[in-house]
Amino acid sequence: MSHSDMTVAPPGPVLAIESSCDETACAILAPDGACLAQHVVSQDGHAHFGGVVPEIAARAHLALLPGVVRATLDEAGLHPADIGLVAASTGPGLIGGLIVGSGFAKGLALALDVPFVAVNHVEAHALTARLPGLVEGGAPFPYLLLLVSGGHCQCVAVEGVGQYRKLGGTIDDAAGEAFDKVAKMLGLGWPGGPALEKLAREGDPTAIPLPRPLWRRPGCDFSFSGLKTAIAQKLAPYGQDALPRRFAADLAASFQQAVADVVADRIEHALDMMPQARLLVAAGGVAANTVLRARLEDCAARAGVRFAAPPLRLCTDNAVMVGWAALETWREAARRHLPVPDDRAMRPRPRWPLEDMATRFETVAPTP
């Protein structure tokens, strides 16, 4: 395709697939980014094991994905031939799920003779705030992203499509992982984050002293393993006995407050490291935690920057963000007068650092 044939938007809607962990999702976005339809199926076969089992997740994606895609097309009132672009999370994530989702998407793109865009799952989270109408006043570059989920905890300077600087990240557990592990210690099951937040509402966040790892240290790295160990020590005297409800609630509230305090402290440092940022964006499942969100809003207000967090349905893993990242990639290629991206030859990457996206538009290949 020649430069003169390129457009800022694809010739038809984008069909996007997300399968990097235990959500099987599909969304269809109009070329302007409006969501025409979306479906998300949260797999329910993992709770018994206390966490996501990669093999079970991959098999579930394989079984669920065809029906989810058909349902999304039906809801949008579209036929496969109407699709102008196909996209899928191609990393980072669980390799089995990535293989299923990206393989399905590539096959569909090949059958329809349309381009396929491989989407970095973390980049999709990073760009979600730019969805049309999501953030009042828009989300122009640059802005500071806090990504907090079960698998990620990092501060990122988002300077443009494909232009990211990691300012800091966790040196052990992710925040969501810490929530799930502490919830399990408290007998709340998995996934534990929402259950822990609910229990914490009954407790006193100042009742039980807990450490604040890396508090007021330079930089904006995170650490939660010491906090998790402190919880285990508080629980040790009870052995296998049932915990008193009041104690469990106080411990949950105190843990949640400690996490919020640590994240707020790290964000203050990150904002100092990125003085050009006028917007703080929180994304990922943990960004839905009301206590954490309130602390982040306070941090942003005191720093004189806006704060934004997507609604819960777009904080957790979803295909809308995947489709939007593909559209942003398409538009950036057009802006740079590069050929339309087509990543059919790209293999899934269980590890795909966000910083690697700097080469995205250096390696873009013409559509076959």
Where is the binding site, in residues?
A: 121, 125, 147-151, 180, 193, 197, 289, 317
Cα–Cα distances in angstroms (integers) from residue 286 to residues 90, 166, 230, in the given order: 22, 19, 21
Q: Binding site for substrate: residue ranges? A: 147-151, 180, 193, 197, 289
Decide: 186 and 159 in contact? Cβ < 8 Å. Answer: no
Q: Nearest-CA neighbor of 254 among 184, 201, 297, 195? A: 201
Report CA Rg, the chain.
Answer: 21
What is the distance between the terminal CA atoms of the chain, rounded to a whole angstrom?
9
Rounded distance, CA 11 to CA 92, Å?
A: 28
Helix (H) or strand (E) run with residue 35 in it: strand 35-42
Helices and strands (H and E) in the chain: how many: 10, 10
Q: Which two tokens stand for residue 204?
A: 């006193």
Q: Nearest-CA neighbor of 179 among 286, 47, 312? A: 286
Residue 330 DSSP one-character state: H
Q: Binding site for Fe cation: residue ranges? A: 121, 125, 317
